[in-house]
Chain A
Amino acid sequence: MMLGIMVKAQTGYQVGDVATDFNLKNVDGKNVSLADYKDAKGYIVVFTCNTCPVAKAYQDRVEALNKEFATKGYPVVAINTNDPGTSPGDSYVKMQERAKEKNFSYAYLEDPNHIYTKKFGATKTPHTFVLTKTAKGNEVAYIGAIDNDQEEVNADKSTYVKAAINSLLQGKKPEITSTKAVGCSIKWKKEGTTK
């Protein structure tokens, strides 16, 4: 029996791994899979939530990424990492409210029991995985932060996700394939709770 809490193992995807697809419920009630995006060249999968101050600070930037790259073949797909029992502010209803309030142009999916949060290996919010379509499937090309300026105080910030996708659009590997960032811990479902 393992305690799930102190796991610091490198589980989850590394750059170069092929990501599995999913079928998760969007805030509009419909299910969404990566395969639904027929014209996609790749995806910007953002593991995020309603409640984390860092995730909230990035909301507008996530929207901007979708606006910039969806038409170029890289749509944003956001996934809520948090269990609503542990974190009521991250319930499905609250997700819907936030998506409506901020007019999200992208899918905001729930991930009950953290199945894809764990599969991808998201360890905090926000945590971004850029996937690119190759012959092998949806290959992970970048993992980490959206930029190195959470608080938006640095005009010279490095915009990692943008740079990664621009490289991929030119048929090149991103120069920086992984970065670190401070974020909120995932609010895991508590053992023994029924839902």
Chain B
Amino acid sequence: MKYVSILLLVCAINFANAQVKLLTLSELDNRVAKGKDTTYVINFWATWCAPCVAELPSFEKLKKEYFKTPVKVILVSMDFKSKLKSDVIPFVKKHKLKSEVYIINEKDQQAFIEKVDKKWSGAIPATLIATRTRRLFFEREFTKNELEDLVKNIVHGDYKP
């Protein structure tokens, strides 16, 4: 029985990358609040947003092991919930995305945009870098080096806005 459950767990982990779940903003906030010393790099994107798709590799390839405290990449898709199975999951499979991927699950987009950051126009891509005690929001695209430098500065305490 024990071996079956281990096997199931292993299978679940292997298939986990193709699992895309719905996520509310309060679920995201709770996650960050419970994150101890983890820095969450939360990228807002969509399968239909060409500049977003172009910068995804920068997030996927972020060398998390080089930071002195844990860093977690979370990709939050603004695709319609109804497109979960038709668009988002196939996209994740095709691009072999390793990061956690969610679809935003909020009824009022206007309120959601304001709550993520008051200065956000709603344009994507946009990235929120958050720890338990700090939130930094960037409405822009990143190259791999720019993202790495930015996260490094934030994690190691050198970041000055």
Nearest CB in chain A: distance from B32 CB, A: 21
Contacts of B110 in A (CB 8 A): 145, 148, 158, 179-181
Contact segment of B64-72, B88-96, B121-129, B153-161 = B121-129
- Given A53-B48, A151-B82, decide whether A181 and B107 contact each other with a Cβ distance below 8 A: no
Known: A149-B107, A179-B110, A181-B113. 18 other contacts (CB 8 A): A53-B80, A123-B121, A124-B123, A149-B109, A151-B80, A153-B81, A154-B107, A158-B108, A180-B110, A180-B120, A182-B46, A182-B122, A182-B123, A182-B124, A183-B122, A184-B49, A185-B49, A185-B51
Q: How many inter-chain contacts with C-beta < 8 Å in the A-B complex? A: 60
Please tell me if A52 contacts chain B, counting CB pairs below 8 Å.
yes
Chain B residues touching A, majority SS: loop
A143-169 at interface with B (beta carbon < 8 Å)? 145, 148-151, 153-154, 156, 158
Contacts of B80 in A (CB 8 A): 53, 57, 150-151
User: B109 contacts which of A53, A181, A184 (Cβ < 8 Å)?
Assistant: A181
Residue of B nearest to A148 (CB): B110
B123 to A52, Cβ gap below 8 A? Answer: no
| Cα–Cα, bound, A179→B112 (Å) | 12
Q: Size range of the interface on A?
A: 20 to 34
B111 to A148, Cβ gap below 8 A? Answer: yes
A123 to B123, Cβ gap below 8 A? Answer: yes
Nearest CB in chain A: distance from B116 CB, A: 10
B60-86 at interface with A (beta carbon < 8 Å)? 78, 80-82
Nearest CB in chain B: distance from A50 CB, A: 13
- Chain B, residues 30-68, CB within 8 Å of chain A (1/0): the string is 000000000000000010111100000000000000000
